[in-house]
Amino acid sequence: MNRSRTALAAGLLAVVALAATACGSSSSAGSSGGDTKAATAKSAADLGGMDALIAAAKAEGTLNLITLPRTWAGYGDLMDNFTKKYGIKITDANPDGSSQDEINAVKQLKGQDRAPDALDLGSSFALSAASANLLAPYQVASWKDIPESQKDAQGRWYNDYGGYISIGYDAKQVTTPPTSFADLAKPEYKGKVALNGDPTKAGAAFAGVFAASLAKGGNADNIQPGIDFFGELKKSGNFIPVGATQATIQSGQTPITIDWDYLQVSAANTLKGKVDWKVVVPKDGLYANYYNQAISATAPHPAAARLWEEYLYSAEGQNGFLKGWARPVELAAMQAAGTVDKTELAALPQVDGNSPFPTEAQLDAAKKVIADSWAKTVG
């Protein structure tokens, strides 16, 4: 499953370029040691440059993140290395939560020291957070290296890493490998198929339904066939309403999962010797997309939040995503500059074909359809 990905990654970026857009205690926002000037900074230059940003972030001393599993896209090493580099303590709340949980936390914890500083959101959730004025505009130093179609013009959100929806399976439990969404309807997979969460709340699960829709004749304007597909799997007993994680994979509770390829490869490597986890990207539902970084408009540690973004979009941070088997958004620029880790660039699953990239309007419409139909159809 670990075959060359250089052409794949370049192709993914090329396709994205064609899309119109991507996808505690009480205290006032910006206080509790936070730099109030940093709370309105739209770039490091607004604070006097990178050295001044670093000093302000170190003075805050804390960064609140949320819903970042350590095994997701290299985030474990990224968080550790950021703390080692700057001496800033990271609190990662609700690591197994969803994009919707992040948005809820921003709203519910506003004004508290433990509110989220920075967010990692699925595309549809980033768009809704921006429209609700929950995000602060900010442009990292490498802003020009992020393709125009993969960032908000105001700097409220920007793609960070991406991947393809894939099927992972335990080769010891599943002796006949599923290679397509069509395969997942076979009786032999009864009680075995799971998504990574609830598609009304989790970006990975939302993408899984989108991919299934493409496999069943849907398109970027019609996600209903994907919802109907999971409704059929639920009726047949094949679909189980268990949010897939590495823990459920290791326990055998979810022997087949639909998830991003970088998470599947991470599971295969992390669980090696315990579970014989295999990964395939289905041709009948080829779907790829990116997650997005954003800064909370009411971040209690605004300087640390901005420094975190600068770190993630540096060559070190982008290669950190690559080490986590995800495709960094600045890959093309890094290849041109010779700063990409070529060893890490050679290890993602093979993919053939092109994926559609929904526009803002299409993602928003699909999200509304899932919100209205998922519970009624799948339960």
Could you write out the three-class secondary structure of 158-207?
Answer: EEEEEEEEEEEEECCCCCCCCCCCHHHHCHHHCCCEEECCCCCCCHHHHH
Q: In whole angstroms, give the CA distance from residue 362 to residue 369.
A: 11
Q: Is residue 8 part of a domain?
A: no
* The predicted structure's pLDDT at residue 35: 62
Q: Is residue 16 part of a domain?
A: no
Whether residues 189 and 117 fall in one domain? no
State yes or no: pLDDT of 263 exceeds 60.
yes
Whether residues 32 and 119 fall in one domain? yes
Whether residues 249 and 364 fall in one domain? yes
Least confident of 8-12, 230-234, 290-294, 305-309: 8-12
State yes or no: pLDDT of 176 exceeds 90.
yes
State the residue range of the domain holding 100. 21-161+290-346
Structure tokens, 145: 């290296």
* The predicted structure's pLDDT at residue 36: 78
Q: Is residue 5 part of a domain?
A: no
CB distance 87 to 58 below 8 Å: yes
* The predicted structure's pLDDT at residue 138: 98
Helix (H) or strand (E) holding 93: strand 89-93
Whether residues 156 and 199 fall in one domain? no
Q: Is residue 9 part of a domain?
A: no
Percent residues over pLDDT 90 in the chain = 82
Whether residues 70 and 34 fall in one domain? yes
CB distance 233 to 185 below 8 Å: yes
Least confident of 186-190, 235-239, 359-363: 359-363
Whether residues 47 and 142 fall in one domain? yes
| pLDDT range class, residue 9, cuts 50, 70, 90 | very low
Mean pLDDT of the chain: 90
Contacts of 3 (CB under 8 A, 6+ apart): 348, 349, 350
DSSP letter assigned to residue 350 = P
Q: In whole angstroms, give the CA distance from residue 240 to residue 258.
A: 12
Unique residue bearing structure tokens 């290849």:
335
Q: In whole angstroms, give the CA distance from residue 230 to residue 352.
A: 25
* The predicted structure's pLDDT at residue 351: 79
Q: Is residue 2 part of a domain?
A: no
Q: Is residue 186 part of a domain?
A: yes
Per residue in 228-252, is it b (16+ CB within 10 Å) or e — as a string? bbbbbbbebebbbeebbbbebbbee
Q: Is residue 15 part of a domain?
A: no
Sign of CA dihedral 27, 33, 37, 39: negative
Average pLDDT over residues 93-101: 93
Q: Is residue 66 part of a domain?
A: yes
Q: In whole angstroms, give the CA distance from residue 263 to residue 245.
A: 9
Q: For 368-377, which contacts have Cβ atoms below 8 Å and span 24 or more sequence positions?
A: 369/223, 369/224, 369/227, 370/199, 370/200, 370/206, 370/209, 370/223, 370/227, 371/200, 373/224, 373/227, 374/198, 374/199, 374/200, 374/209, 374/227, 375/200, 377/227, 377/228, 377/230, 377/231
Contacts of 344 (CB under 8 A, 6+ apart): 319, 322, 323
Whether residues 225 and 211 fall in one domain? yes
Whether residues 335 and 367 fall in one domain? no
The domain that holds 194 is classified in CATH as 3.40.190.10
pLDDT tens for each residue of 13-59 = 433 332 333 333 333 334 444 567 999 999 999 999 999 999 999 99
State yes or no: pLDDT of 158 exceeds 80.
yes
* The predicted structure's pLDDT at residue 358: 87
State yes or no: pLDDT of 87 exceeds 70.
yes
CB distance 160 to 120 below 8 Å: yes
Contacts of 92 (CB under 8 A, 6+ apart): 65, 66, 68, 79
Q: In whole angstroms, give the CA distance from residue 112 to residue 188.
A: 50
State yes or no: pLDDT of 72 exceeds 60.
yes
Least confident of 8-17, 208-217, 315-324: 8-17
| β-strand partners of 163 | 289
CB distance 235 to 191 below 8 Å: no
The total number of structural domains that make up the chain: 2
Average pLDDT over residues 87-101: 95
* The predicted structure's pLDDT at residue 13: 41
Whether residues 370 and 306 fall in one domain? no
Where residue 178 falls (left for φ over 0; alpha for ψ -120 to 50; beta otherwise) is beta
State yes or no: pLDDT of 126 exceeds 60.
yes
CB distance 298 to 110 below 8 Å: yes
* The predicted structure's pLDDT at residue 295: 98
Where residue 61 falls (left for φ over 0; alpha for ψ -120 to 50; beta otherwise) is left
More confident residue, 354 or 93: 93
Whether residues 265 and 302 fall in one domain? no
Could you give phi then psi for residue 145, rounded to 5 degrees? -85, -5
DSSP letter assigned to residue 45 = G
Whether residues 217 and 270 fall in one domain? yes
State yes or no: pLDDT of 12 exceeds 70.
no
| pLDDT range class, residue 192, cuts 50, 70, 90 | very high
Whether residues 248 and 361 fall in one domain? yes
CB distance 240 to 194 below 8 Å: yes
